[in-house]
Structure 1
């Protein structure tokens, strides 16, 4: 009687047995001490940063302009809000202005860290901003304008995060932190609009 034998199963090698498996190794050329000494003016920007620095600085300057316009819009709304509900809403506008100013500071700091120049030029601020300035006199219109601007900011930060991906993890984390704040601002403006 003939018996069928099962085909032999190939045994997977243990991790230390597989010589062909890729290993995690550092780029020794990028780590070269002599090379690092030659490029001291680049600060934190090392050769591994790649060709993206100028594009990232440009994106960050757009975000900086947006944050600065948001500071100005919120401050104007704070000082010009009137009506029965205005004191509490005006206070919220000032809180948001302060938070947007903090975002602007962090963006400017990152731009400098990347070897760029933060663009604070007032004459081109509005055209470089993703969000609009608003000089509404009506409290509901102010809240609506701020909600629209926050939604624009949320979308622009999401797109920047997607574009940057793993090209610059530090900038990506910064943008993710700011995005979380902008989402919270949008929710707060939506709540004010509904009341």
Structure 2
């Protein structure tokens, strides 16, 4: 080891005491401490759009579950139901986080499709259903990746939640890819 590697860092890791004191005020804000700064409204908007996407995905998967037909349809339809339930759980997590951030989750059916990143699908052919769901999962993956980058360290709790959802969306896409062509 050289003397250079033993030198003390020029920058110290210290908490912002002013921010700590400010956190003891405005108790009605719940989790929203001053460090959330100007990003809360943008994060709530991103989350509401993700909520719309998840809800549209639930509806698409449910429709495909109930209408899938063909030799391989029972196994694939059962997976559609599993995916629908997992997408519903994602929607619940997102809605809960929106409320924690002091926002209001937007479940308005009239605007769901317009706010969703993914599309609804009413295909009748099993392979078309799988393809539509794979497209939607890939869109969700891209949207979550972008949101994770945008949020970065501005809201670590939301970022971690989105990373968990992203991991499941990637699993869904991998399964759907395997069913194409069967």
The two structures share one fold, judged by TM-score above 0.5: yes
- Paired residues in the alignment total 180
| 1:5-84 alignment runs, 5 A limit | 12=4, 15=7, 21-32=10-21, 35-84=22-71
Greater than 4 Å deviation, 4+ residue runs = 11-16
* Pair member with larger Rg: 1
Counterpart in the other structure of 1:129: 116
Give TM-score scaled by structure 2 length. 0.94
Task: Quote the offset at 1:140 in angstroms.
Answer: 0.8
| Structure 2, unpaired ranges of 5+ | none
| 1:139-178 alignment runs, 5 A limit | 139-178=126-165
| Structure 1, unpaired ranges of 5+ | 1-10
Residues 36, 131 of structure 1: CA spacing in aligned structure 2 closer, same or farther, 3 A cutoff?
A: same
- Cα distance in 1 for partners of 2:17, 2:149 equals 29
SS, match of residue 122 in structure 1: coil
- Cα distance in 1 for partners of 2:120, 2:14 equals 50
- Cα distance in 2 for partners of 1:14, 1:143 equals 58
Task: Quote the offset at 1:36 in angstroms.
Answer: 3.5
- Cα distance in 1 for partners of 2:162, 2:25 equals 31
Q: Render the CA deviation track for 1:70-89: whole Å, top value 9, x for unaligned.
A: 00000000001111111111
